[in-house]
Each structure stands twice: as C-alpha cells, then as structure tokens.
Chains A and B, each alone.
Chain A
Amino acid sequence: MSVEKLAYLPGCPSEATALEQHMSTEAVFEKLGVELVELEEWNCCGAAEAEDQNLVYALNARNLAIAEKDNLDIMTPCSICYYNLARTNNALKANEELRAEIKGIDPSLEYNGTITPKHVIDVLVNDIGLEEIKSKLVKKVELKVAPYYGCYLGRPPETAFDDPDDPVLMDQLIELIGGENVPFSAMKTKCCGGPLMMTRGDLAFEMARKILETAKNAGADCIALACPLCGMMLDAKQPDVEKALNVKFEMPIVYITQLLGLALGIDSSKLGLQKNVVDTKKILGKVV
C-alpha cells in the first residue's frame, strides 16, 4: 500500500447535515490503517456558490497551503470540495503570477503546488487498491445497490478521475463487498439538483425524483453516493420530495464509506447509519 497518511478536509456539511459521511470516512480509514490528519482550521471551499474563480482560488489556496506545510496530499469526501481543490491546484501550478498574487493577500495562502488533492473514492480504489481492501473485509454486504456518482467525479475533464458517462470506481467497490449493482447508467452522473434547491426547488425536486424513481424501479435496496450535497438532496430532503410530488420512495441513501465500513466489520453506529434520514435498518439485515 502506497499511502499511509493524508491531510483530511471534511468540508462544511461534515459538521451537520452529512455528519454520517464524516464519521464513516474516519472509521473506514482507521480500519484500513491510513492516518487522516484533519486540516487544522480548514475553511469552506466556496462550494457551487462561489462563481468567481478568483474567490475559488483564494479560498482553496488556503486549504492546500495548510496540507502542503505538512507535506501531505489532501483528501476530501465531498465532491464539490474536491472539484474546487483540484481546479485551484491546476490553476496555481500553471500560473506563477497568480500564485504570487494570492500569496500577497496573506502569507498563509502561500501554496507551491507540491501536493495533490484527492477524492475519497479515488484514494480507496486507486491508491489503497481493491486487493488491499479485500484482504481486510470480514462481512458481505448483500445488497442491490444503485451507484450514484453525481457531478464532479467524472467531469469536468480537467479534474475528473473517472469516466464522464459511465464511471466505474464505486461499482467496483460495491462488487468487492458482495453487493450487486442494479442497472443505473442513465442516472449515475445526472445532477441531483442540489445547487437549485434554495432558488428553484421545483426543478431540484424533479431532478431528485428521477434519480430516486429510477433506483426504485431498478429494484435497488439503497442508493450509494459520495457527495454530501447529493446526500442532502436525496436523503435529507427525500420526505419533502415525496410530499411535494405525492410519491413514496422510502429509498435508503448511504454514503459509500458507510457500506464499505459495514463490510470491514465496523459497528453501524460508528458509521453513523442511525443518522441517515431515510431509515437504514432494513439494509443492515443484509450484511452477513
């Protein structure tokens, strides 16, 4: 195994709405023997709301600089944090002038481009590796899973680490732990609507509905995902989507780290499975 220690950026939702993603990420990496050093004093990446690229670069330069001081690659479980870190890293690496300008804002923003930002899924599959993970599995997660990737893992091309139209890394993890991937290609990378939730809830709900409905029709026991905003939209808001559109899904939504954690034999409460909004008890019965 090539990776022993990583800087860890949990991201803003980790403190509230996506607490279970944070808990399961920490638990899984502990089990896998990879030390996570939570970035001291990390700041918000600007999410999708920072539309000015200068703002994105400055906010993310600070987080990158903190990790660089420890000479550690930086990992995040949040797809948007990943996208913002990765595009900032690219821009600053390529542009010395921009680096100097950003450092001029405050010395703590001095970033020299010597580390690499990574998403949790990338680290699990490509750095730690399926073989290594396999050697530590103690349980089978015999679930039918709809693997939902959302945006920013396979696009835009500049920062992607999986296929834009038919990503596979999460599928591989699900198969590895004994799960079955239901046919879900049409929805895998469709946007969940999250960025429109507060301004065009009607569109956002419709987008979420399509994903939930497709998973349900495909016979999935749950949807696995990797982004806290997708989690908010599909899990935390699922009862609202059901109410607004007069439908019933009761579709459990779990972070991929929660599923992997179950296969690694980690206690479900340590993985935060009691914190998902749609009840996850019925899927726990299929962990053997």
Chain B
Amino acid sequence: MIKTWELDPNFKNEILNELGGENLTACYQCSTCTLGCPITELVPSYNPRKIIQMSLLGMRTEVLSNPDLWICAICQTCTARCPQNVVVGDVLAVIRLLAEKAEEAGEIKIESPRPLFETAFLHTVEKYGRLYDIGLAMEYYPKREGSFIKGQKAMMDDYMAFGMRMFFKGKMGPLGGHGLLKGVLPSKIKQRDVMKKIFKWVEEKEKER
C-alpha cells in the first residue's frame, strides 16, 4: 500500500542530480530491464523496474532500505537494453550510495554486508594504490562477522582452499618466482599521497550531496 503522506516527491531529484541518475524520468515502465536481468532469473522477486517506479513515486525509505539493491551484479544488461536510455545499472548504483548515506544519518539499516566489502576493497586502494586481496579480507570478514575470531573463521571457510590453490600455482607467495612475497604483501605505488588526495576529494564531494 502506498501511503501518500509518506511520499517524498523530491527523491527522484536526489537521483537525477547524481552522475548516472540523469535519465531516470524517461522510464516508461516497459520491464525490458527486468526481463533480461540475470539476478531476476535466479531471484524472481528481484525487480529493477519496480525499484525505478517506486523511486519515481517518491517511496524513499522503502527504496533505500530494499535489500535487493545489494544483489545487483552490476552487469549492465539492463542498461544496454533499456529503450529509453535510462542507465539502469548506474541508477541502482546511485541509489546504493544514497542508501549508505541514509544509513550514516541513522535513517535506515542496511542488512547486506556489501557496503562493508566495497569499503574494505577501496581502503586497500586508498592505502596502496592497488587492490590488496589479503588486506581486503582481513578488514571485511571480521567486520561482517562482528568479531575478529569469527571473522578469521569465516575467512578460512571461504578462502583456505582457494589460498592454497593460489599458492601452489605460484600466483601468490614464494613459488611464483616473480617476487618472493608477491600477492602476500601489498603491491604499493610510490605516489600514494595522490590516492589520499583522490579519496579526500571524493569525500568532500559526497558531503555536498
């Protein structure tokens, strides 16, 4: 049921104002995006068309707290197929950013661990200039599990076998013959100060939102 008194008519403008959100209002609800979506194929209730419709109607809280936002695979099939040039994949990314902001403001609670994962990933980029898989996992798992010990266990469950495979194939660690601890230690660029500046700039831009 739509409670009209709870609608936020400005919500669509929040999306329209962001890079990627520009063509939102061109949507004419044809469902092409949803029909081709690989996630809808697996999870029939997943419906990007509906997320767009609810956004246009101004159902801000419902949209931002929708757990489905976090199972989009960012594959851009929807974007490629939309007859109205709505950049559907980017619209969803914009909505995820707005959801993170709403969570920071205490308005909603995000159940998915995906923001933690993305943040942990980007932290390694900010710190070293390149992705550092092990650093990512060391930050992500404990945060996701709520404790260091549980995090270590979850990490081992997911990655022990994988890690050994990488080790024996010489892709990580000393068997590679391409740098003793490659993959085990972070690969760092020298201009790490530039990375710091980039992330600081992005943070400032976010505050303008």
Contact = CB atoms under 8 A, between A and B. Distances in A.
B156 interface: no
A59 B20 contact: no
Contacts of A152: 76
B202 A196 contact: no
Interface stretch (A135-143, A197-205, A213-221): A197-205
A49 interface: yes
A151 B75 contact: yes
Q: Interface size bucket, B side?
A: 35 or more
A55 B118 contact: no
For B74, B140, B178, B197, the residue with the greatest tally of chain A CB atoms inside 10 Å of its CB is: B74
A91 to B, nearest CB: 8
Interface in A44-58: 44, 46-55, 58
Interface in A1-48: 12-13, 15-17, 19, 41-44, 46-48
For A43, A201, A275, the residue with the greatest tally of chain B CB atoms inside 10 Å of its CB is: A43
A15 B140 CA distance: 21
For A13, A49, A207, the residue with the greatest tally of chain B CB atoms inside 10 Å of its CB is: A49
A156 B79 contact: yes
B153 interface: no
Contact of A164 (B80, B131, B140, B170): B80
A261 interface: no
The B interface, classified by DSSP as helix, strand, loop or mixed, is helix
Interface stretch (B7-15, B38-46, B55-63): B38-46
A105 B182 CA distance: 31
Contact of A16 (B42, B87, B140, B166): B166
B170 A275 contact: yes
A20 to B, nearest CB: 8
B202 A54 contact: yes
A43 B122 CA distance: 12
A108 B20 contact: no
Given A41-B189, A49-B122, A195-B73, A15 B93 contact: no
Interface in A195-254: 195-196, 198-201, 203, 206-207, 236-237, 239-240
Contacts of A109: 194, 198
A78 to B, nearest CB: 11
A205 to B, nearest CB: 11
The A interface, classified by DSSP as helix, strand, loop or mixed, is loop
Nearest to B80: A155
A125 interface: no
B183 A15 contact: yes
Nearest to B75: A191
Contact of A59 (B158, B198, B206): B198
Interface in A134-163: 151-152, 154-157, 160
B134 to A, nearest CB: 10
B75 to A, nearest CB: 4
Contacts of A236: 162, 165-166
Contacts of A50: 118, 122, 125
5 pairs of A and B residues whose beta carbons are closest in the complex: A16-B183, A155-B80, A191-B75, A53-B19, A12-B131
